[in-house]
Amino acid sequence: MMDTFRNSDQDNLIFVLKYAFPEMEELLPLRFNILNSIKFNQPVGRRMLSGTMGYTERVVRRECDILKDNNLIDYYPDGMRLTQKGHEVLEALTDVFYKINGIHLLEKELASKLNIRKVIVGSVGIQDPNVSLNEIGYEAAKYLSTIINEKSIIGLTGGSSIERVINGYKPDWVNFKGNDILVVPARGGLGNKYEYQANTLAERLAGKLGAQHQMLYTQDNLSKATIEELKNEPNIKKILDQIKHLDVLLFGIGQAKVMANRRVLEQEEIDHILGKGAVAESFGYYFNKDGEIVYEISTIGIDLDIFKNLKHVIAVAGGVDKTEAIIAISKLNPNLVLVTDEQTAKKIQTVL
């Protein structure tokens, strides 16, 4: 009888536990979230953990003591850390949540409805937004490691989402030397944070891969005349030629209004862009909900024609506020692989 509900011993066990021990539905997510928060913030104190997760200090203290008693975490003078057993249990719990929440079915459904290659839901059962972004970055990094080879040219944009991907990448995920891999920024600098700049992230990823990298020493939001002049500079011309031959592009998806403000556009221009129905921005193009270009500004780096023809495109975007933007960008290239969080994936599901 049980086989009619689940088709493996592990799935049957999850099914039985869920219904025989209903309290598990409250305790399991709580402890799972605490373990995840410690993983991405370690070493971390209980007070800080309480503040970032929104639980009372009393709850955090009680649960952390239980986790320590079971050798999943340890206390140190500078804060708590996961033990090796804690890492192993957390990985197993991630698989449990993946199955309980039917994430594999959700991923397939969204990929089909969005008409893209693949959807990866990389933040299952996680409530802390900061940990959620770290987790989808980690999953995007794992996927990236499966599609690069010894001679790949990898392009990436800047932004906080891509920074989390670089943070999550593990150098031992590939077993070949990266000497001939080239990492390039796919656009010029944007915004003020050094750690989010495409140049910075390209250098950091190259360091983890043991690869070469190039720098694009220019801002992204320049006048058209200035950009056309810069394109003739030998160094910039060389990088733009390399961008034309990208094997992989890693990029974040921006909301139209947020990106317009980040580019420090005049309010009149921002109002004009939004008035045209723009919901998303990538590479200087603003798109409406149907993926149609409604506005374009001068940028330096990858252009839309190159993007549309790439075979390996990884978009990293979390947060339900990006739902419309994700749907719009997904219409541009059927080879797209989207990495997002559970709540955003379920929001997209309700919209499509």
Fold of the 103-351 domain = Rossmann fold (3.40.50)
pLDDT of residue 142: 94
**2-6, 183-187, 281-285 — most confident range:** 183-187
Report whether pLDDT(55) > 80: yes
Q: Is the peptide bond before 43 cis (omega within 30 degrees of 0)?
A: yes
Report whether pLDDT(117) > 60: yes
- Give the whole-angstrom CA distance, residue 140 versus residue 201: 15
pLDDT band for 5, please (50, 70, 90 cuts). Answer: very low
Listed in order, strand segments (DSSP E) in 136-201 are 153-156, 182-185
CB atoms within 10 A of CB 214: 20
pLDDT band for 13, please (50, 70, 90 cuts). Answer: low
Report whether pLDDT(44) > 80: yes
pLDDT of residue 122: 84
Tokens of 277: 């129905």
- Give the whole-angstrom CA distance, residue 142 versus residue 161: 14
pLDDT of residue 69: 95
Instruction: Supply φ then ψ for residue 50, to 5 degrees.
Output: -60, -45
Give the global pTM. 0.84
Domains 2-100 and 103-351 are alike in CATH topology: no
Tokens of 249: 């592009």
Mean pLDDT of 288-305: 89
pLDDT band for 181, please (50, 70, 90 cuts). Answer: very high
pLDDT band for 184, please (50, 70, 90 cuts). Answer: very high
pLDDT of residue 15: 65
pLDDT single digits (tens) 188-227 = 776 667 788 999 999 999 999 999 999 987 776 677 788 7
- Give the whole-angstrom CA distance, residue 26 versus residue 284: 45
Listed in order, strand segments (DSSP E) in 16-89 are 73-76, 79-82
Return the percentage of the chain with pLDDT > 70, whole number.
Answer: 90
Question: DSSP alpha helices (H): ranges in 175-290?
Answer: 198-209, 224-230, 234-243, 256-262, 267-275
In this structure, is the dihedral angle defined by the CA atoms of residues 257, 168, 107 and 31, taken in order, positive or negative?
negative
Report whether pLDDT(14) > 70: no
Please classify residue 243 by burial: count the beta carbons closer than 10 Å to its beta carbon, then call 0-12 exposed, 13-18 middle and 19+ buried: buried
Mean pLDDT of 303-332: 95
Instruction: Supply φ then ψ for residue 232, to 5 degrees.
Output: -90, -10
Instruction: Supply φ then ψ for residue 266, to 5 degrees.
Output: -65, 145
Report whether pLDDT(166) > 70: yes
- Give the whole-angstrom CA distance, residue 352 versus residue 56: 37
Measured CA to CA in angstroms, residue 24 lies from 56, 251, 259, 342 at distances of 20, 38, 42, 20
pLDDT of residue 320: 93
More confident residue, 17 or 215: 215
pLDDT of residue 1: 34
Which neighbouring-strand residues pair with 120? 339
Mean pLDDT of 4-31: 65
pLDDT of residue 6: 40
CB atoms within 10 A of CB 121: 24
Mean pLDDT of 346-351: 95
Average pLDDT of the chain?
88
pLDDT of residue 220: 65
Of the candidates 50, 67, 33, which has an alpha carbon nearest to the alpha carbon of residue 342? Answer: 33
Mean pLDDT of 125-133: 72
Mean pLDDT of 150-154: 95
pLDDT band for 17, please (50, 70, 90 cuts). Answer: low
pLDDT band for 70, please (50, 70, 90 cuts). Answer: very high
* Domain layout of the chain by residue ranges: 2-100, 103-351
Report whether pLDDT(8) > 70: no
Measured CA to CA in angstroms, residue 195 lies from 105, 121, 160, 214 at distances of 36, 25, 8, 16
Mean pLDDT of 283-307: 90
Mean pLDDT of 164-169: 94
Report whether pLDDT(131) > 90: no
- Give the whole-angstrom CA distance, residue 275 versus residue 286: 12
CATH of 2-100 among 3.30.1490.20, 1.10.10.10, 1.20.120.1200, 3.40.50.620: 1.10.10.10
